Amino acid sequence: MARFVPKQCLPPDLAFFTQISGDTTEQVARHLLDFIPPIPPGSIIHDNACGSGAMTVALMEAHTKNIVIHATDKVPSLIDTMSKKATSLSWPVLAEVMLSEALSFPPAKFTHSFTNFAIMLIKEDAAVAEGIHRTLRDGGVAVLSIWDAPLPVQVVKAAHEFLRSGQSALPPAIARGSFNAEDLRSLLEGVGFTSRGLSFGRTKAVLEVADLRFWATAVWSFLGCPQNGWIAQDEQRWDEVIDFIVDWVQNWENYRKLDSGAVRLDMEAHVVVAWK
Ligand SMILES: C[S@@+](CC[C@H](N)C(=O)[O-])C[C@H]1O[C@@H](n2cnc3c(N)ncnc32)[C@H](O)[C@@H]1O
């Protein structure tokens, strides 16, 4: 039997899903390059859990000659799009479907390994960290980013408590939302990066939202589904929850209303640079 889905829930379309974070991962991908020395010619680079290729695009915009980028992600449609883009632009990018927790690259393949906003999503995070360390050359560098107290996680948690009064487990999409910089440090140290080789920094990205109510609907549609699936109450009280989310965001400390009527949301991220 088909699972119940509230009639207000947006369909699982990438075009809606990408509204949640806009181009913020692209903004941070560009900033990540400021945390390390310029990428030298001859570098072999991993864009781990590449998504739509934010990191690969940032690397290509840096115009470094004679590099090779291996872009991997678990979602075939993203890899397909990445491959087509690389071919059409003649980029030195090899894209393949691969789980970050089961990298099939040989040891010491990469001079650089980037994991932009992904490790906090993956339950097998120790295997992800191990793969990054194993595939990096001695003297190579890994750069990882995670959001600091990500807004979608905070607001979905609040809406979940508002609607379901702690009666059910957190939606799976945000269950790992408390993953933080200290978790990242212990993971990386646990797989062999030394504390001397690790440095932590911070960066920011700005999300501009033209229609906050639509943004709230996208966030709740894609992240609010409880562990056992949506139920009738989710449909009956849908508008109430969206009102709650809009109100919560309007009272968030990093919310600004712009003269244009759009909304500006300032996001903060942790960046770790790990030298092997
Ligand atoms: C928030 S997106 C970030 C994508 C990209 N790195 C960026 O900066 O825009 C997280 C990405 O992790 C990918 N992902 C999630 N779990 C994964 C896994 N176990 N192995 C590989 N990729 C995974 C998702 O498909 C998605 O593309």
pLDDT score, position 166: 72
Helices 238-250/151-164 angle, 10° precision: 140
Above pLDDT 90, what percent of the chain? 90
Rounded Cα distance, 257 and 182, in Å? 33
pLDDT score, position 165: 85
Q: Between 3.40.720.10, 3.40.50.150, 3.40.50.2300, 3.30.230.70, what CATH number should domain 14-275 receive?
A: 3.40.50.150
Ligand 1 centroid to Cα of residue 118, in Å, is 5
> Which residues are 198's β-sheet partners?
274
Rounded Cα distance, 103 and 200, in Å? 25
Rounded Cα distance, 196 and 183, in Å? 17
pLDDT score, position 140: 98
Strands in 31-84 per DSSP E: 44-48, 68-73
Task: Give me the phi and psi of 118, to 5 degrees please.
Answer: -140, -40
Separation of first and last alpha carbons in the chain: 51
Nearest Cα residue to atom 26 of ligand 1: 51
Q: Which residues contact 64 (CB under 8 A, 6 or more apart)?
A: 38, 39, 40, 41, 43
pLDDT score, position 89: 96
The pair of three-digit structure tokens given for residue 42, joined into one six-digit string:
């001859």
DSSP state of 88: H
Tallying the residues shown for the chain, one arrives at: 276
Atom of ligand 1 nearest to the CA of 98: 21
Residues having CB within 6 Å of any atom of ligand 1:
25, 29, 49-52, 54-55, 73-75, 78, 99-101, 116-118, 121-122
Candidate of 73, 75, 93 to mutate for ligand 1, largest count of ligand atoms within 8 Å of Cβ: 73
User: SS3 breakdown of the chain: % helix, strand, coil, rounded to 5?
Assistant: 40, 25, 35
Ligand 1 centroid to Cα of residue 74, in Å, is 7
pLDDT-flagged residues of the chain (< 70) = 1
pLDDT score, position 271: 98
Give pLDDT tens digits for 87-103: 999 999 999 999 999 99
Candidate of 17, 18, 75 to mutate for ligand 1, largest count of ligand atoms within 8 Å of Cβ: 75
Candidate of 18, 27, 50, 153 to mutate for ligand 1, largest count of ligand atoms within 8 Å of Cβ: 50
pLDDT score, position 206: 98
pLDDT score, position 14: 82
- On the CB side of 100, how many CA atoms lie within 13 Å of its CA? 28
pLDDT score, position 1: 66
- On the CB side of 182, how many CA atoms lie within 13 Å of its CA? 2
